[in-house]
A and B are shown apart, each in its own frame.
Chain A
């Protein structure tokens, strides 16, 4: 069974999905990490992001694995062709590259195939990511679309970056978020829209636990 969580940048998708997976004893599928792994592979192997065919080729060839500790829904490591890239995929260089990679139709197709394969191996899977409920798992048992105001999302992303030790002004972060919203909703391939059958949850004034409570309650009815 699959719970698909979708939403714009920094709407809390990954935080909420992880907490929800822990609450429900599910496996957590980080699709964003998979695109990041492809972007990283391109950077490390020197495949120019302008060469769409070459990047797509890479997306089909690389093997992305998630390492799970026993009983832990959250993967403890991300492997790219057996190399540990858990940290490398969270670097600013990958932040800059990932949007371009995720826009490529052929890369998305390659990733969708891999994501579905992962889903087949889990009893209950919480998946998050752009267009997860519309394109990747259109038949998911439950779909959630998270939203939050751009200001609130900029605040969250800024906090996250500070924790990781990257210094950046909040206004700069807000600019980035607004640019990404624009890019995400206007892209041709799988633009950012809630699935028709998704529950829309506004998280602007809610804490993580409250959001998880809300979704878990909805899940009681849906699953």
Chain B
């Protein structure tokens, strides 16, 4: 077999997704027993208790295939969001829905526009289907430059991905800018608003993607159970899509793409909004503590609307390694002058603050 010729040419320049270090690896490397993983924006607590009970209850029935149309979960989500079921798609993580949308729309020669840095999956799905990525740099304040993104749209543009709040910077674009942007987007372009961190947002001016979704406009809004609902290990997310796109996605998805445990876990996570509020507030509190520590230590950071903070540093490699030596795993971006630090429990915050304090003492200003 001539593998070089056999494997699609588009895949050649692609690099597989590299996840952050695992806790066990770091334990081995540093000899530290207490290792804190703050590199994947996971929630520090387990899933909601009612979800855990329901998932345990379903385990003896896993001999059966899942409900292929996830009907109960989709019904619950439709009711909650006030959309028709023809618009509601669930996926094996919102990540899967991103790929399914790309798979439904993209052909070689098409273009996809998104900000950079942003979620790494956007360039991956773009390349995967032979389309071309147009990356628009964030502004100096690490915010989406929606005007420039609109300017970059042309006839060959199929999709614009907007991550709001943005991963890895934690910043949002505001309602006024978004509305001006939507006015400028031609109708042949799908705007995908990825709201993975929606539930953490507190800013008044945040444009809730749902309020712009009317079924007609070419806009898709994606959310996930991986973050505030603590179901990252299950892989489940959902999206509101224009009906024809949702129909196309149902054609390209696997028959049983969302497993039974995930459907049940997600369903039973939806009836505890007070826990969501509590988690949002606690995240905000811990973030404020972290900010004050950063201010005191002279660590530069970008204020965040999410459960992570983008720390700016001119010594990313040294700081990453020094934090690792303290048993704290953060996300690095190669030589990019920044690190992404997840927010955890009050105890996690205490450990993070102490780790940064010791790193700053050791390295001088970072």
Assess whether A191 is interfacial by the CB under 8 Å rule: no
- B137 & A40 in contact (Cβ 8 Å cutoff): yes
Which residues, 114 to 172 on B, are CB-close (under 8 Å) to A? 116-117, 132-140, 145, 147-148, 150-152
Assess whether B338 is interfacial by the CB under 8 Å rule: yes
Assess whether A46 is interfacial by the CB under 8 Å rule: yes
Q: Which residues of B contact A40 (CB under 8 A)?
A: 137
Partner of B335, one of A47, A164, A165, A166: A47
Residue of B with least CB distance to A47: B335
Q: Which residues of A contact B338 (CB under 8 A)?
A: 46
Given A46-B334, A47-B335, A166-B147, the answer on whether A91 and B137 have CB atoms closer than 8 Å is yes
Residue of A with least CB distance to B338: A46
- B337 & A87 in contact (Cβ 8 Å cutoff): no
Residue of A with least CB distance to B133: A83
Interface size class of A (residues with CB under 8 A): 20 to 34
- A44 & B148 in contact (Cβ 8 Å cutoff): no
Assess whether A94 is interfacial by the CB under 8 Å rule: yes
Question: How many residues of chain B are within 8 Å of chain A by beta carbon?
Answer: 26
- Measured between C-beta atoms, what is the minimum distance from A127 to chain B in Å? 26
- Measured between C-beta atoms, what is the minimum distance from A204 to chain B in Å? 29
Assess whether B21 is interfacial by the CB under 8 Å rule: no
Assess whether B184 is interfacial by the CB under 8 Å rule: yes
Q: CA of A88 to CA of B145 in the docked complex: distance in angstroms?
A: 10
- B150 & A46 in contact (Cβ 8 Å cutoff): no
Q: Chain A, 37-51, contact with B by CB distance < 8 Å: what is the 0/1 string?
A: 000100111111011
- A94 & B132 in contact (Cβ 8 Å cutoff): no
Partner of B140, one of A44, A45, A93: A93
- Measured between C-beta atoms, what is the minimum distance from B78 to chain A in Å? 37
- B150 & A165 in contact (Cβ 8 Å cutoff): yes
- A45 & B111 in contact (Cβ 8 Å cutoff): no
Assess whether B336 is interfacial by the CB under 8 Å rule: yes
Q: CA of A94 to CA of B140 in the docked complex: distance in angstroms?
A: 9
- A48 & B111 in contact (Cβ 8 Å cutoff): no
Q: CA of A166 to CA of B117 in the docked complex: distance in angstroms?
A: 21
- Measured between C-beta atoms, what is the minimum distance from B169 to chain A in Å? 12
Which 6 residue pairs across A and B have the least CB separation, nearest first?
A46-B336, A87-B152, A91-B148, A93-B137, A48-B337, A43-B137
A residues at B contact (CB < 8 Å): 40, 43-48, 50-51, 54, 83-85, 87-88, 90-94, 96, 164-166
| New A-B contacts (8) at CB < 8 Å, excluding given A46-B333, A50-B314, A88-B137 | A43-B137, A44-B117, A87-B134, A88-B134, A90-B151, A93-B136, A165-B147, A166-B148
Q: Show 10 A/B contacts (Cβ-Cβ < 8 Å), sorted by A.
A: A43-B138, A46-B335, A54-B335, A88-B152, A90-B151, A91-B137, A92-B145, A165-B147, A165-B150, A165-B184
B residues at A contact (CB < 8 Å): 111, 116-117, 132-140, 145, 147-148, 150-152, 184, 314, 333-338
